[in-house]
Amino acid sequence: MIKDSTGLRVFHVINFIWLTLLSLMMFIPFLIILSTSFSSETDITLHGYAFLPRVWSLDAFHFVFTQGTAGRGYIISITVTVIGTLLAVIITTMAGYALSRQSLKYRGFFALAYYFTMVFNAGLVPWFIIVSDIGISNSIWAMILPMCFNPFLMLLMRNHFRGIPDSLVESAKIDGAGEFMIYLRIMLPIAIPGVAVITLFYMLAYWNDWWMALLFIKNKQIYPLQFLLRQILANIQFAAMNPSMVNLGAIPQETVKMATCVVTIGPIIFVYPFIQRYFVKGITIGAVKG
């Protein structure tokens, strides 16, 4: 017994050391990105990357927020992310709850229809025509509605709801609760880990999206942050390929690339710690029952 206890302690120590080293290895690239974004472009060109800035400079962030109107883009991206994530979570959880109920008529047909869209799609042209014909082009809804439902995340929520005992639902029905009240007051609170998982996935999808803006948005006033940053990087690459047309000395290149990474991932880093405790549990529960 003592031998097993000692071996277990040794295992925990080795495991802790290994995970600590692995975490540091994962943090090193981010540290270099952060350091480079606050460094002088001249210093990076002459001496290369470093873990800490040798010459501190905010030129890269100044360039990002002045040349790309990133301040307004931040507001647009936050608005799209908040509204889109809220709408997507509501639709996804409702659909998942409906498919988890044995009493739903034609449940198999609806499940097959959802699954079919995960394997096959009509392509870009019909999708573009539909979005244009419903009249949401060149509006903020063009960046929200096309992404507000993901069949895979819906199936994940269905598995969560399936894992909830039917006795809870039957008890609620005996007390006079309707389907919507059961979904809102019983199923959702119990399925919080699953809701946290799909919330994070939707949030990342909306926050990182620039493709919808490229396709449907012509009004520069509603360009999201990701699209603006993509334009900045594209302009820098064009300038690097045509040095005779642009004064490259006035444009921070490497530091701007790193600054765009910092600007992009900043909000997600602050949000993730609040829901990470549900993340692993939510994926595990959703994967056990099929």
* pLDDT (tens digit per residue) in 214-265: 889 888 888 888 887 777 777 667 666 665 555 555 556 778 778 877 877 7
Q: Comparing 270 with 13, which gets the higher pLDDT?
A: 13
Cβ atoms 232, 259 nearer than 8 A: no
Tokens (6 digits) for 123: 């392509």
Q: Which pTM value belongs to this model?
A: 0.76
User: Which pLDDT does position 36 carry in this prediction?
Assistant: 87
User: Which pLDDT does position 111 carry in this prediction?
Assistant: 84
User: Which pLDDT does position 206 carry in this prediction?
Assistant: 93
Percent of the chain with pLDDT over 90: 10
**pLDDT tier for residue 189 given thresholds of 50, 70 and 90:** confident
Q: Is residue 134's pLDDT more than 60? A: yes
| 3-class state of residue 56 by DSSP | strand
Helices (H), the chain: 2-37, 41-47, 59-67, 70-100, 107-119, 124-133, 151-162, 166-174, 179-182, 188-190, 192-208, 211-216, 225-241, 254-288
Cα Rg, the chain, nearest whole Å: 24
- Give the closest residue to 256 by CA, choosing from 61, 87, 11: 61
Q: Is residue 109's pLDDT more than 90? A: no
Phi, psi of 39, rounded to the nearest 5 degrees = -100, 165
| 3-class state of residue 76 by DSSP | helix
Q: Comparing 256 with 95, which gets the higher pLDDT?
A: 95
What are the beta bridge partners of residue 272? none
> Over the stretch 251-264, which tens digit does the pLDDT of each residue have?
567 787 788 778 77
Q: Is residue 129's pLDDT more than 60? A: yes
User: Which pLDDT does position 2 carry in this prediction?
Assistant: 46
CA distance 65 to 44: 21
Question: Residue 261 burial by CB count (10 A; 0-12/13-18/19+): exposed, middle or buried?
Answer: middle
Cβ atoms 136, 142 nearer than 8 A: yes
Pick the range with the lowest mean pLDDT from 57-66, 145-154, 215-224, 236-245. Answer: 236-245
User: Which pLDDT does position 239 carry in this prediction?
Assistant: 63
Cβ atoms 89, 199 nearer than 8 A: yes
